[in-house]
Structure 1
Amino acid sequence: MILPLTAAPSYCNRFGVALLLVAIADFLFYGQPAGITVLLFAILIAAAVVAVHPAAFSDGKVWLKPAALLVALLPLAETVSPLSVSVALAALAAFALSLSGRLRHRMARIAGQILLFCLAAPVRFVGDFLQWRKAARRFGGRRIRLAAIAVWVMPLTLGAIFVALFGAANPVIEYWLSLIDLIRLLDLIQLTRIAFWLFALAGIWVFLRPRLPRFSKRVSRPNNPLAAAQPAINPQRHVVEDIVFGKAAILRALIVFNILFALQSGLDATYLWGGAALPDGLSYAAYAHRGAYPLIVTALLAAGFVLAALRPGSETSADPLIRRLVYTWVAQNIMLVVSSILRLDLYVGIYALTYWRIAAFVWMGLVAAGLALIIARIALGKSNEWLFSANLLTLSLALYACCYINFAATIASYNVDHSLEMTGQGIPLDAWYLRSLGPEAFPALDRFLDHQGSTADAGAVAEFARLRGVDEGWYRHLQENWRSWSFRDWRLLRYLDSRRPLVLPGVAEPDR
């Protein structure tokens, strides 16, 4: 098969689009803060993907894909965070694979494709370039390369002539040309900037030419025909597995597990929910902290056991008694997760809130949802692939919702409202940790400083108020660059513009 000459121009067109996007990325991101520009650039990439796949418009429901992509990109307008960027990248990968006709239909397979897409992204451009060169050498590469170069010779040559003529005829154009400083342009070419260009080119290229790595399966053939005719598995091994992991063993295990989990749930009901006195030397905080994470590990192990014991179509899965025991055990696991959430809530109430503790709450909720889906899988007779897809969908919806939650402001507000200084009980506020949360903590810090201004003298509070003013000045200076705009920052700026000046005894008002 002869490689058509149109392959090179098609390749060059995509490369030209990629170079244009790299130039835009340099303008938007290099040495600049990240904000609304991330959403704008994601939309430009999506438009480029549509442009290089014109055949996708033949589908009557083609508008559904851009609409779904826009929904996935909306968190970037709220704020730019690792989570919102990850959601956007996954959505762009699915969008590009969908337009190229490579996206599968089930959630689990789509997740696998996106994972492979991201793993292959760093080397996709290099691989495509080497593959194109190899094909070009085999099928008249010299002609293709010359044709690809020749199409640019005439436009560039005549374009340079026209620019020179316009410069001679028009003083404004002549003035613009005089502003071009070649020496200064050469100074802009730095190693870090070149590295940024290459990184941007590799990242953009994977969306313009979406491909998935191919894995060849090698089947080893035995050299000895007699060995091939013998059974590959020892029958005695099957007997051992049937005894150790058979129906009787699983039935006994479920009975024991239900008793143990009932005991644990009973202890939690007594001490955490019932308020019974703990043994000497053990506080509620220690009881809550020591049990939260191990219980989640226990629930995950229980879920793995249920999936292994009740495989679809197995003998154990069809037994009514085992199914009832599994339902009871999974329900106890859900109660165990709820107990873990209560433990963590008690611990947070004593030792304040942090990012990791919020992540633990989200994680525990996902585990509880996964356990409920296990019951649904058994009751409905679904496959493990269905369960995996349902869990992925739940995880995706949870992460998408988290993109709109201002966790820094939530942590700051909770810690201020439950601090010793504000309520007279609990632990003192770690104001320096709140400052590390960034500008989103400004409203909570202002409430804290307002309260301290009327009850405390100068000292540390005055110094902290001064630093609060410095941080606001830096933040306002950063927001003067339009590239850093986000809806969350816009709301915060409105608050900063509308609040009254902070006044503390002996503290000058910070510069606005």
Structure 2
Amino acid sequence: MTSFFTAAPRYCSRFGAAVLLVVLADFLFYGQPAGITVFLFAILIAGAVVAVHPAAFSDGRVWLRPGALFVALLPLVENVSPLSVSIALVAMAIFALSLAGRLRDRIARIAGQVALFLLAAPFRFIRDFIRWRKAARRIGQRRIRFATFAVWVMPLTLGAVFLALFGAANPVIEYWLSLIDLIKLLDLIQFARIAFWLFMLASVWVFLRPRLPRFPRRIARLKPDLAAVQPTANPDKRVVEDVLFGKAAILRALIVFNILFAVQTGLDAVYLWGGIALPDGLTYAVYAHRGAYPLIVTALLAAGFVLAALRPDSATSADPLIRRLVYAWVAQNIMLVISSILRLDLYIGVYALTYWRIAAFVWMGLVAAGLALIIARIALGKSNAWLLSANLLTLSATLYTCCFINFAATIANYNVDHSLEMTGQGTPLDASYLRALGPAAFPAFDRFLDHQSRTAAANDPALRDLTGVRGSDERWYRTIQQNWRVWSFRDWRLLAYLDRRGPVVIPSVSEPYLPGR
């Protein structure tokens, strides 16, 4: 009973903060586009988290956490995207768990905790509400729900009677009552808005009361019991494992793998790096496309084999010959990844750049970094936990950096600069895809239209239509940007460019369009 009354004020204060945040979320987001408001709302949640954890102020390094959180939220200022929002959610989860004193000290464990925290987030508020009700029942307040509503029956009933009597006796009150339209009041009840409130309440509650699911702890307590009832290992089976996956088998496998990879690396050195002509009927685009993605799968399988074969403190990891073969094999895998990057570059040179191909570049770079970290783990004698933490740090830094790169503008600039219309070779520009990239493609689009207006295609009706579409897209974009909620640093820079450039002018059919007219 004492714990219930002790926890009640904390629940009430956190629930009040959650309701206030929901009201602010309704003002910032409901029926509105997302922009700088996401960053502002994240800052408000962080402030509420700090307010409900006053004990955290006793730590002398408490301000390091808000500083780190602010840096993690900066991508939201640059641009609101699924990636920047995902980084913000992870950072908010780490911030809330750290203030609550529930965060581990190792990166790999922190990643697991954050994953559990986010997976359980949709159910946290419901679970806490059920626990609150159970606690109320345990102290004898079984009729608390009925009593809460029953005490209002008499005041509201008599109040309605008195109001009706006053309306009959006073013309002014009768006039005020006539202004109340019950039908319009019912129309104000929007189920979509109520669902939005409930969603936001559950979303902010998980940060105000950060907890981790308890089932991993129960599983951990069961592990000793499960180990006790496991049957004794079969000696014959152990002998088979030592023969198939022992030191001799791994040594022979590494020799075979190095020979196979050397053949592939040699072919890439001849055809990709050396510029030797391919066999008849085979183009560089086909050669590049056939190997860009399968070689990455090959590198991943190789990495898995190395991790399984050279476990820390194992007999294979201590053998100098095996270590040299592993170094040579991983180095060949890194060369395969670099060849895959070159293959993809050749393919893009023929078929243009897209989001997925940029993602493939980033993924290949991460694979190469992961392979290099495997060599570092073996050379330094580190554990697999160290390797996992290093890869998580590399992935986090890469994703954080990607938030500040305008990939839409990068794709648009590349496709315009390498199009058939601009260079006289390659593939024609896909104007529909360029437009689908959004407002970030406006500068590249303008450069393409200006180039076309100075050529023989200036009087082409298709060019006039394309220029008209570009102008209508800009008008729509400027209309959206009039709402302060949608502001971002990236949009601010784009608007500055559009203001410098001036309005888009559709060239006349009768006379060529001259820039500056």
Asked if these proteins are the same fold (TM beyond 0.5), I'd say yes
> Does residue 297 of the first structure (1) align with residue 297 of the second (2)?
yes
The 1:3–1:260 alpha-carbon spacing in structure 2 relative to 1, beyond 3 Å, is same
- Which letter does structure 2 place at the counterpart of 1:255? I
CA distance in 1, matches of 2:481, 2:56: 39
For residue 155 of structure 1, what is the aligned residue in structure 2?
none
Given candidates 462, 469, 472, the residue that maps to 2:471 is: 469
Residue range with higher mean Cα deviation, 194-203 or 64-73: 194-203
After TM superposition, give the deviation of residue 241 of structure 1 in Å.
0.3
- Paired residues of 2:35 and 2:79 also in contact (CA < 8 A): yes
What does the per-residue CA deviation read over 1:147-196, in whole Å, with 9 as the maximum and x for residues that have no partner? 999xxxxxxxxxxxxxxxxxxxxxxxxxxxx9998865543321111111
- Paired residues of 2:412 and 2:444 also in contact (CA < 8 A): yes
> Does residue 341 of the first structure (1) align with residue 346 of the second (2)?
no
> Does residue 498 of the first structure (1) align with residue 492 of the second (2)?
no
- Paired residues of 1:5 and 1:144 also in contact (CA < 8 A): no
- Which letter does structure 1 place at the counterpart of 2:467? A
CA distance in 2, matches of 1:235, 1:180: 86
For residue 489 of structure 2, what is the aligned residue in structure 1?
487
SS of equivalent to 2:3: coil
SS of equivalent to 1:6: helix
For residue 94 of structure 1, what is the aligned residue in structure 2?
94
For residue 314 of structure 2, what is the aligned residue in structure 1?
314
SS of equivalent to 1:3: helix
For residue 208 of structure 1, what is the aligned residue in structure 2?
208
For residue 167 of structure 1, what is the aligned residue in structure 2?
none
After TM superposition, give the deviation of residue 281 of structure 1 in Å.
1.1
CA distance in 2, matches of 1:98, 1:497: 45
CA distance in 2, matches of 1:187, 1:313: 70
CA distance in 2, matches of 1:44, 1:80: 17
After TM superposition, give the deviation of residue 232 of structure 1 in Å.
2.0
CA distance in 2, matches of 1:399, 1:147: 53
TM-score (ref. length: structure 1): 0.89
| Aligned residue pair count | 479
CA distance in 1, matches of 2:502, 2:205: 50
What does the per-residue CA deviation read over 1:218-248, in whole Å, with 9 as the maximum and x for residues that have no partner? 36969xxxxx899521110000000000000
For residue 170 of structure 2, what is the aligned residue in structure 1?
none
- Which ranges of structure 1 fall in alignment gaps of 5 or more residues? 150-177, 223-227
Residue range with higher mean Cα deviation, 257-266 or 456-465: 456-465
Residue range with higher mean Cα deviation, 458-467 or 367-376: 458-467
The 1:73–1:185 alpha-carbon spacing in structure 2 relative to 1, beyond 3 Å, is farther
CA distance in 2, matches of 1:412, 1:348: 13
- Paired residues of 1:453 and 1:503 also in contact (CA < 8 A): no
CA distance in 1, matches of 2:306, 2:296: 15
- Paired residues of 1:120 and 1:212 also in contact (CA < 8 A): yes
- Which letter does structure 2 place at the counterpart of 1:476? R
CA distance in 1, matches of 2:47, 2:230: 59
What does the per-residue CA deviation read over 1:368-412, in whole Å, with 9 as the maximum and x for residues that have no partner? 000000001111111111101110000000000000000000000
What does the per-residue CA deviation read over 1:268-312, in whole Å, with 9 as the maximum and x for residues that have no partner? 010011010111111000000010000000000000000000000
CA distance in 2, matches of 1:406, 1:230: 55
For residue 26 of structure 2, what is the aligned residue in structure 1?
26
For residue 446 of structure 1, what is the aligned residue in structure 2?
446
CA distance in 2, matches of 1:274, 1:185: 77
What does the per-residue CA deviation read over 1:419-447, in whole Å, with 9 as the maximum and x for residues that have no partner? 00000000000011000000000000000
After TM superposition, give the deviation of residue 140 of structure 1 in Å.
3.9
CA distance in 2, matches of 1:210, 1:290: 48
The 1:90–1:239 alpha-carbon spacing in structure 2 relative to 1, beyond 3 Å, is same
After TM superposition, give the deviation of residue 502 of structure 1 in Å.
3.6
What does the per-residue CA deviation read over 1:109-156, in whole Å, with 9 as the maximum and x for residues that have no partner? 11111110110011111011101111221134469889999xxxxxxx
CA distance in 2, matches of 1:56, 1:297: 46
- Paired residues of 1:39 and 1:76 also in contact (CA < 8 A): yes
- Paired residues of 2:96 and 2:210 also in contact (CA < 8 A): yes
- Paired residues of 2:125 and 2:205 also in contact (CA < 8 A): yes
After TM superposition, give the deviation of residue 452 of structure 1 in Å.
1.0
For residue 261 of structure 2, what is the aligned residue in structure 1?
261
CA distance in 2, matches of 1:219, 1:483: 51
The 1:214–1:288 alpha-carbon spacing in structure 2 relative to 1, beyond 3 Å, is same
CA distance in 2, matches of 1:179, 1:388: 67
After TM superposition, give the deviation of residue 500 of structure 1 in Å.
4.0
For residue 61 of structure 2, what is the aligned residue in structure 1?
61
CA distance in 1, matches of 2:237, 2:179: 82
- Paired residues of 2:468 and 2:506 also in contact (CA < 8 A): no
SS of equivalent to 1:471: helix
- Which letter does structure 2 place at the counterpart of 1:404? F
CA distance in 1, matches of 2:229, 2:12: 55
For residue 163 of structure 1, what is the aligned residue in structure 2?
none
For residue 113 of structure 2, what is the aligned residue in structure 1?
113
Q: Give 1:149-168 correspondences, 5 Å limit.
A: none
- Which letter does structure 1 place at the counterpart of 2:253? A
> Does residue 417 of the first structure (1) align with residue 417 of the second (2)?
yes
> Does residue 379 of the first structure (1) align with residue 390 of the second (2)?
no
What does the per-residue CA deviation read over 1:71-95, in whole Å, with 9 as the maximum and x for residues that have no partner? 0000000000000000000000000
> Does residue 435 of the first structure (1) align with residue 414 of the second (2)?
no
- Paired residues of 1:3 and 1:139 also in contact (CA < 8 A): no
The 1:392–1:181 alpha-carbon spacing in structure 2 relative to 1, beyond 3 Å, is farther
- Which letter does structure 2 place at the counterpart of 1:83? L
CA distance in 2, matches of 1:220, 1:56: 36
For residue 38 of structure 2, what is the aligned residue in structure 1?
38
SS of equivalent to 1:212: coil
Residue range with higher mean Cα deviation, 500-509 or 56-65: 500-509
CA distance in 2, matches of 1:450, 1:504: 11
After TM superposition, give the deviation of residue 468 of structure 1 in Å.
0.8
Q: Percent identity?
A: 77
For residue 76 of structure 1, what is the aligned residue in structure 2?
76
CA distance in 2, matches of 1:146, 1:98: 39
SS of equivalent to 1:5: helix
After TM superposition, give the deviation of residue 251 of structure 1 in Å.
0.2
SS of equivalent to 1:301: helix
CA distance in 2, matches of 1:204, 1:328: 51
